[in-house]
Amino acid sequence: MKDDYQDLVDEISALLGAPATLENRDFRLIAFGAHDSDGDGGELVLDPVRTRSILTRQSTSAVRAWFEGFGIARATGPVRIPAAPDAGVFRGRLCLPVRYRGIVHGYVWLLDREGPDGGDSGPGPQALAAAMEVAERIGVLLAQEAKAGADLSREFLAVLGAGRGWQQDMAVAALRVALGPAGEGPHTVLCVTPWAGEAPQSVPGAAAVCVVPAEPGGAGGRLAALVRMRGTDALAPALTALGRLMPRTAAPAAPPTAAAPPAPGRGPAGARPGTAPGRPPAASAPGVPSTAMAGARTAAASGQGAAPDLTAGVSDPVRALAELPAAWEQATAAARAAAAQPRLGPVAQWSAIGPYRMLAALAADPVDDPAARTLLGPAHRELARTAEVFLDCAGQAGRAAAALGVHRQTLYYRLGKVEQLTGLDLDEGEDRLLLHMALKASRLHH
């Protein structure tokens, strides 16, 4: 099928007299035509955006936001995009949306040509109409490919639900055959919860999607997605998939230029580095750009069961398909942690959820420790919050009082009440550990 795409891209290049590139709707390069020398000295004239797309076979989330701001995802005909040198776009673009049955599946890009006086000397209406007919044929191929990926949901669900032993071995073997060459290399698993209704027919960037039924007594199912990791930006495909599943919360419009790294320490008004005052910090894992995590949380929802209270978890990459059940547990734990602790969510990576990695495994059932039972009741929520903040502050009364906005004496009074209710001694390390674990674990069930 790759040769089919290349032939069609070459056909558009010939029709319009300019080198074309084809990207899917996630701005991942599929095919590109030959780029002839067109500079004054015979040199190849590109710009950083196109060069990066060809060399890395993908574009950044900022590039995507920049071009989508011109309405290409909604357009049904050619869209001209002017040059923006400050953003690294030295040449204007001509974008041909690739659609099938009203759904955009990709884009054909051409570097726009300008006449000697700076005016437009691009292709005429007849050439553009002929190129759009070729783009429609590309759309049919991309839609068929997306449908083939959606048909893997049964095999993927079987792997996640199979027990250990021969059943899991058979399920993994079936998924490996279904994936074909795509089964090689590392994968990650995503969990979006709670999910109502059916799984979407296809998710950009995902090899397979399915809905895992709720556990007994649970609320709503969980959407699972299998994503193959690629390139140096390993999480980019996972975040692309999540960006089409999570509800819109904001709309970043940064041009495709590299942002300077934040200075050490905190930003204005005590903000965390890399965040603007008044904006919640992005839930970013070590080695994961906060802008990428933000992008996953700000893309439009697909409208297929998405709800404002969705949270999502991303597992660590695994190389063997037999490890997918363990990766699913990681993704589920991360999604639960994102719901339990707002600063982690709504998208959290398993490696970044700290103590919740252990608590999610231990706290399969609601906390019912006799020491913490009364404190965790609805009548003592303020005392429970006081104890949690105090323990989060490593028992430093000054920090805890400041975080709670109360006087130290008020803090001491409340902690005394906590000791009376629990029978624990907050001067004892093991008692502090028990109470801290109980408080954190209780979050996972609210």
Extended strands (E) in 337-409: 347-349
**Is residue 415 predicted with pLDDT exceeding 50?**
yes
Class of domain 2-145: alpha beta
Q: Report the candidate in 42, 89, 83, 81 with the shortest Cα–Cα distance to residue 63.
A: 89
Average pLDDT over residues 427-442: 82
Q: Report the candidate in 327, 173, 305 with the shortest Cα–Cα distance to residue 244.
A: 305
**Is residue 303 predicted with pLDDT exceeding 70?**
no
Confidence of residue 297 (pLDDT cuts 50, 70, 90): very low
Q: Report the candidate in 29, 21, 7 with the shortest Cα–Cα distance to residue 91.
A: 21
Residue intervals of the chain classified under CATH 1.10.10.2840 are: 378-443
Average pLDDT over residues 316-330: 91
Of 301 and 129, more confident: 129
Q: What is the dihedral of CA 136, 140, 141, 142, to 10 degrees?
A: 90
CA 51 – CA 48 distance, rounded (Å): 5
Q: Report the candidate in 223, 199, 213 with the shortest Cα–Cα distance to residue 150.
A: 199
Of 155 and 248, more confident: 155
CA 426 – CA 316 distance, rounded (Å): 36
Q: Report the candidate in 164, 190, 214, 160 with the shortest Cα–Cα distance to residue 333.
A: 190
Confidence of residue 40 (pLDDT cuts 50, 70, 90): very low
Which fold would CATH assign to domain 378-443? Arc Repressor Mutant, subunit A (1.10.10)
pLDDT at residue 78, rounded to an integer: 94
Q: Using an 8 Å Cβ cutoff, are 90 and 50 in contact?
A: no
Residue tagged 């709309």 (tokens) = 251
Q: What is the pTM of this model?
A: 0.52
Q: How many CA atoms lie within 13 A of 309 on its CB side?
A: 9
pLDDT at residue 315, rounded to an integer: 93
Q: What is the mean pLDDT of the chain?
A: 74
CA 294 – CA 311 distance, rounded (Å): 13
Sign of the dihedral through C-alpha 100, 105, 111, 112? positive
Of 99 and 201, more confident: 99
β-pairing, 347-349 vs 311-314, is parallel
Confidence of residue 363 (pLDDT cuts 50, 70, 90): low
- For residue 185, count CB atoms less than 10 angstroms from its CB and return exposed for 0-12, middle for 13-18, buried for 19 or more: exposed
- For residue 427, count CB atoms less than 10 angstroms from its CB and return exposed for 0-12, middle for 13-18, buried for 19 or more: exposed
Q: List the structure tokens of 251.
A: 């709309």
Residue tagged 């624990």 (tokens) = 424
Average pLDDT over residues 385-389: 89
CA 248 – CA 302 distance, rounded (Å): 10
pLDDT tens digits, one per residue of 52-65: 555 444 566 677 78
β-pairing, 208-212 vs 221-228, is antiparallel
CA 362 – CA 358 distance, rounded (Å): 6
pLDDT at residue 270, rounded to an integer: 33
Q: Using an 8 Å Cβ cutoff, are 323 and 162 in contact?
A: no
Q: Using an 8 Å Cβ cutoff, are 134 and 106 in contact?
A: no
**Is residue 267 predicted with pLDDT exceeding 60?**
no
Average pLDDT over residues 89-102: 86
Question: What is the percent of the chain where pLDDT is above 70?
Answer: 70
Confidence of residue 309 (pLDDT cuts 50, 70, 90): confident
Confidence of residue 325 (pLDDT cuts 50, 70, 90): very high
pLDDT tens digits, one per residue of 398-407: 999 999 999 9
β-pairing, 79-81 vs 93-100, is antiparallel
Residue intervals of the chain classified under CATH 3.30.450.40 are: 2-145
